[in-house]
Copies of this chain bind each other. A is one copy, B any other.
Amino acid sequence: MRASSLLSESLAVLGKELTSELRSRVALNAVGLFALTTLIAVAYQIGPYKIEEADRPHLLSALLWIILFFGATSGLARVFVKEEDARTAKTLRLAARPLAVFFGKLGFNLILLLGLESLVVPLYCALMSYTVEGVAGLVLVMACGAVAMAASSTMVAAIIARASGSGTLFAILTVPLALPLLVVLIQGTKAAATSAALAAVIPALRAIVSLAGVTLVAAVYLFPVVWHD
C-alpha cells in the first residue's frame, strides 16, 4: 500500500508539473528553442569547417552533448527554483512526502530531456552531416543518458533552490558533477556513430547505467534531507 500510494502521489506531482508548465506554455518549449538557436549558432560558425575525418566522430558527438547539456540546464533548474520563488515550496513541503516530490519532478525533467533530444539530435545530424551507423545503439545511449542526467540535475536543482535562491548556482554545481557523465555519453555516442553493431555501445552503456544507478540511489537517500533541510 505504501508503494502504490507513493506511485500515485508521484504521478500527482508529475501531473501538476505538466499542467502548470503547459499552461504557462513558454517554459516547456523554451528549452527546445534555446537548444535550437544554439544549434544554429554552432552549425553556422563551426559547421562549414572541414574537420579531419578521423576526428569527426568524437568532435561531433562532443559538440552535440555540449549543446544538449546547456539546453537542458537552462530549463531543468526551474523545477524547484520556481516553487521557492512563487513561495509554494513550503506548501508542497508540508503536504507531500519527499520521495513523491522527487519522483514527480524527476519524471518531468526526464520528459523534458527526452523531448529535447528527439528535437535536437535529428536536426544536428542533418545540419552537421553527422552520419550515425548504429541508430539503435544511439537511441539506447540517449535514453539512458537522459535518465542519468535527469537524476543528477533534479537532485542539484533541489539543493540550489534552498540555497538563497540563485538559478546560476545550479550551473556551478551540476557542470562538474555532469562532466564524467558527459565523457561516457560522448564515448557512447561516438561508438554508436562509428559502428552498426549494438555490441559497440555496451561498454559505454554499462558506465552510463551504473552512473545513473549510483546517482539515483544517492538521490533517494539524500533528497529527503535536502527537501526537509
Contact = CB atoms under 8 A, between A and B. Distances in A.
B186 A45 contact: yes
Contacts of A34: 168, 171-172, 175
Interface residues of A, number: 49
Looking at chain A's contact residues, is the secondary structure mostly helix, strand, loop, or mixed? helix
A169 interface: yes
Interface string A152-187: 000000000001111111011001100100110010
Given A46-B62, A52-B52, A55-B49, A166 B37 contact: no
Contact of A164 (B24, B40, B167, B179): B24
A172 B62 contact: no
A42 B30 contact: no
B167 A78 contact: yes
Contacts of A70: 38, 70
Contacts of A73: 74
Interface of A: 24-27, 30-31, 33-34, 37-38, 40-42, 44-46, 49-52, 55, 58-59, 62-63, 66, 69-70, 73-75, 78, 85-86, 163-169, 171-172, 175-176, 179, 182-183, 186
